[in-house]
Amino acid sequence: MSALLIYKALHIFFMVAWFAGIFYLPRLFIYHTMTEEKACKAMLKIMERRLLYFVTPFAILTTVFGVLTIVEYGREWFKYNLWLHYKLVFVIILYIYHAYCFKLLADFKHDRNIRSTRFYRYYNEFPVFLLLPIILLAVLKPFF
C-alpha cells in the first residue's frame, strides 16, 4: 500500500465529512431566521457554533492530505496538470465560503443577522455548484 493511496483516501474522507457540515450549517441558518422563539434561537446558536467548529478541522485535513497527494505526485506532474489548477480555484472559493460562515455565525451569535431566509436558501445551495466542478475535474482530468 503506497503513501499516495493513503493520502488520496484520507483526502476524500475528510472532504466528505467537511461537506456534510457545509451542507447542513446553512440549513441551520435558515431555521434560525425563521424562528422568533428565544429558546429555539439559543439552541440554534449552540448547534451552529458546534457544527462549524466540528467541521473546520475536516476542512484543514482535506487540504493537508490534498497537498500531500500533490507533493507525492511531484512538481512536474502539478505543473502539467492544468485541471488541478482549475480545481484549486473552486477549492479556494469553497474555503472563502467556509470562512464567511464564521462571519454569519458571529452575526447570529450577537443577534445582528440582516439576511433573509431566501438569502440563506441560496447560500445553502452554493456549495453544490462548487462540488460538481471539483469532482468532475478530479475524475475526468480534462486536458486543457
Concatenating the DSSP letter of every residue in 69-98 gives HHHHH-HHHHHH-HHHHHHHHHHHHHHHHH
* 87 is known to lie in a ligand binding site: yes
Contact between residue 134 and residue 90 where contact means Cβ atoms under 8 Å apart = yes
**CA gap 47, 79 in Å, rounded:** 42
The answer to whether 141 is annotated as binding is: no
- Going by the annotation, the residues of the binding site for heme are 11, 87
- Going by the annotation, the residues of the binding site are 11, 87
